[in-house]
Copies of this chain bind each other. A is one copy, B any other.
Amino acid sequence: MEQRIELAVSTVIFALRPHPTTGRDTLWLPLVKRIREPFLGQWALPGGPLKPAEDLVTSARTTLRRTTGLEPSYLEQLYSFGGIDRSPDRVVSIVYWALVRPDEDARAIDGENVEWFVADEVPALAFDHNAIVTYALDRLRAKITYSDIAHAFTGEEFTIAQLREVHEAVRQVRLDPANFRRQALAHPRIVATGRHVTGTSHRPPALYRLETA
């Protein structure tokens, strides 16, 4: 009899929150404590077996809602992992990633056995999930340099300083504010809204938005 191959959908969910020691924004992700073998008691990426009536993104969306209460607008397929030794059973995991905006993250509600961790400081995870987290971080840090993916972390409207802070948090660098502003304003699809941040400042920063291509 042929061995059965199981199919799971897992999710890597990134949000920017302050680092517990430095206080600077950094990438966090939620993990779920396993309540059964294998890897009982260890942390793992949220996910579960694909159900016959669910398509892939619906499965990812269901996991997201159950573990974090979130319905982030950025949810994409990341990669499928199918090494033969990644689990005691043969399991192929199709991994989605979600990028959560601050206004979305404000509505996060932790599910059972769920805890958020600094993405670069996760403990030893179940299965090959450390490798999956590393893959996701590498992909995000590469993609932010040649695409508009940073805007998945900004609101619809953002100041140039907010956009720079997203780049700094994701790439773990400090960027020169004047240089960054010059480059951002040269972007053909970053346009001024004509509005400004409301508040007490006597020179409130201008709000921009990203025009869709």
Binding site for B on A (CB under 8 A): 2-5, 7, 50, 52-56, 77, 79-80, 82-84, 90, 92, 94, 146
A54-B84 in contact given A7-B92, A92-B7, A92-B94 (Cβ < 8 Å): yes
Cβ B80 vs Cβ A55 within 8 A? no
Chain B residues with Cβ below 8 Å from A7 are: 5, 7, 92
- State which of B2, B56, B79 has its C-beta within 8 Å of the C-beta of A92: B56
- A2 — which chain B residues lie within 8 A by C-beta? 52
Residue of B nearest to A58 (CB): B84
Contact B146 A82 (CB under 8 A): no
Q: Which residues of B contact A53 (CB under 8 A)?
A: 84
Question: How far does the alpha carbon of A213 sit from the alpha carbon of B20 in the complex, in Å?
Answer: 35
Kindly report how many copies of this chain are found in the complex they form together.
2
Contacts known (A7-B5, A94-B92); A55 close to B84, Cβ less than 8 A? yes
Known A5-B50, A92-B7; contact A55-B77, beta-carbon cutoff 8 A? no
Given A2-B52, A5-B50, A7-B7, CB of A94 within 8 Å of CB of B82: yes
How far in angstroms is the closest Cβ of chain B from A158?
A: 23
A-B contacts, 12 listed (Cβ < 8 Å): A4-B52, A5-B7, A50-B92, A52-B90, A53-B84, A54-B84, A55-B84, A56-B82, A80-B94, A82-B94, A94-B94, A146-B146
B3 and A50 contacting across the interface, CB-CB below 8 Å: no
How many angstroms between the C-alpha atoms of A4 and B53 in the bound complex? Answer: 11
Shortest C-beta distance, A8 to chain B (Å), equals 11
> For residue A94, which residues in chain B have a CB less than 8 angstroms away from its CB?
80, 82, 92, 94
- A50 vs B7: C-alpha distance when bound (angstroms): 11
